[in-house]
Chains A and B, each alone.
Chain A
Amino acid sequence: MQAPPLKPNAAAGAHHHRANPTLLAALGLPTEVPADWRARALTKFDELLHTRRSLKLYLDTCVRCGACTDKCPFFLGTGDPNNMPVARAELLRKVYRRHFTAAGKLFGPLAAGEELTDAVREQWFTYFYQCTECRRCAVFCPFGVDTAEITMAAREIMASIGLATKYVSEVVDKAHTIGNNIGIPEAAWRDTCRFLEEELKEQTGADIKLPVNQAGAEVLLVPPSADLFTNTDTMMAYGKFFHALGVSWTTSSYASEAGNFGMFLNYEHLKKVNRRIVDAARQLGVRRLVMGECGHAWRAAQAFTDTLNGPLDFLEKPRPEHILEYAVRVIRQGRLKLDKSANDGLAVTYHDPCNLARAGGIIEEPREILRLIARGFREMPADTIREKTFCCGAGAGLLTDEIMETRFAGVKPRIEAFCASGATHLAVPCAICKAQFPVAFEHYRIDAQVVGVMDLLAKAIVL
């Protein structure tokens, strides 16, 4: 997408609702911004500088070459200069210089250092919540400077002084107390699964089970809870898939969420949310842990689980697996009978969720599947796919209504690429993307449908 001219402050008015004191207290955060917030924020900043090489290194080494400036979907969509990755990072870096470097302490503004003031704090809250931690900028930076790491640190600092968004806090709290982001308690979880079993019976004629808390199953499947709310086709697809394979599987009503919004708040909650999955797998005595269609869930699961809450050596395969990876394997083994014609007439393209492509390495698997099951599969332009994929514009805690304009702006480059592909169906294995795209399609008046990769696969499976 063509880079827009700079429109200073174009996105300065986009504000998330702030978490209320009750929520903050539930998460162990200060319930309001304390009088000594400056000192506290700097203390936290200092702590992070000593415990995260990414943060320190990336604050130190950016040469402001500008290579990343036109790579961020939020800059491309809004034109707000603070949404250029380097400028976003500068919001933190200017404070770093002023308070933590010799040059900044001595020369202040001449060394581009700036005091941490109320205004800077507000800038942080605005712009670090207009970054979806998608890592696209990092792909183009000569030093691998990952602005997502900067954003995470900034959010962690803000959380330490009681500044968090309502959306992220609410979701993290539900994950801790109920077990999933939507807040589906066990009874409703079971009820929904029963209902979907009936739907499957109607669709296929087969008695396909969606087991819950079944101890001793081979596979613990952890779906995003949205698969039991809006994306029920995907939930049913898992069922048909395992049924066709004859593999015993289960979901857990305790770890009923693949996603990990803790990652969008701070390290502590990332770890705590992640913990549930490991505990559930251990309790149910499963042999494999498989993650459903969710992008950032996969990042947290594949890259962090073993570190944060491992070792997973009680599993037969002591690592999380991705459902699409699992599917590719069994397809290659010839264990599924597929009928391509089930998806005839669909012009399908594939959207790489950022976290699958740039933080999880699931890139070829969905393509391999789609080529096998959909004759109408085609790619979007090469500079917008695989590790260069454009974010859906709603990840990392942005999937909330009050910043709808930002979301529409952030999805724009992806929408352009989608239109260039001429597809009518967008296959995407991520719950956040699945929630964002329909809204975006409507906004941009595009007549297209969003489907899960598993949905299409299940359609092609012959029982």
Chain B
Amino acid sequence: MPAITLAGKQFDVDENGFLQDPAQWSDEVALGLAQTEGIEKLTDEHWKVVRYLREYYMKFHVAPSIRMLCKQTGLPLKQIYQLFPSGPAKGACKLAGMPKPTGCV
């Protein structure tokens, strides 16, 4: 199983660099994961998305629908793509320390 070092600590990740254990997540880890996504700096808007995803995931054990994400964060999809170039289901979920949404997505 691949591992990466974030904020000086080792983490197991899957083939796509998603945390294996969502419980290990922290703000520092999110910052580290941002680097792997090529995101230099996390703005308030980044955090808004990440925190919303995180909150939803902790409650429901799955990512929210894209529409809900946009609505609840007040950010249009285009802007989410600007914040997370690989998209809400990949980049944003990775930073939120949750598993990669798979299925027909």
Contact = CB atoms under 8 A, between A and B. Distances in A.
| Chains A and B bind each other | yes
Interface of A: 17, 20, 166-167, 170-171, 174, 180-185, 187-188, 191-192, 195-196, 199, 224-226, 228-230, 232, 259, 294, 399-402, 431-432, 434-435
A401 B103 contact: no
Interface residues of B, number: 21
A332 to B, nearest CB: 30
B62 interface: yes
B43 interface: no
B102 interface: yes
A69 to B, nearest CB: 30
A432 B104 contact: yes
Interface stretch (B21-29, B46-54, B65-73): B65-73
B60 A181 contact: no
B60 A191 contact: yes
B102 A182 contact: yes
Contacts of A400: 102
A183 B61 CA distance: 8
B103 A402 contact: no
Nearest to A190: B60
Given A192-B68, A232-B67, A225 B60 contact: no
Contacts of A174: 103
A185 to B, nearest CB: 6
Given A188-B60, A188-B61, A182 B103 contact: yes
Contact of A229 (B1, B60, B103): B103
Contacts of A180: 103
Given A185-B62, A230-B66, 7 more contacts: A17-B15, A182-B62, A185-B60, A187-B59, A195-B65, A226-B105, A434-B104
B32 interface: no
Contact of A171 (B62, B89, B90, B102): B102
A434 B71 CA distance: 21
A170 B102 contact: yes
Nearest to A181: B103
A66 B102 CA distance: 37
B60 A226 contact: no
B41 to A, nearest CB: 25
A229 B102 contact: no
A181 B101 CA distance: 10
Contacts of B82: none
14 contacts: A170-B102, A182-B62, A182-B105, A184-B60, A185-B62, A188-B60, A188-B62, A192-B68, A195-B71, A196-B67, A225-B103, A294-B104, A400-B102, A401-B90
B2 to A, nearest CB: 11
Contacts of B61: 183, 185, 188
A187 B58 CA distance: 12
Nearest to B63: A229
Interface in B57-105: 59-68, 71, 89-90, 101-105
B104 A181 contact: yes
B16 interface: yes
Contacts of A226: 103-105
B17 to A, nearest CB: 11
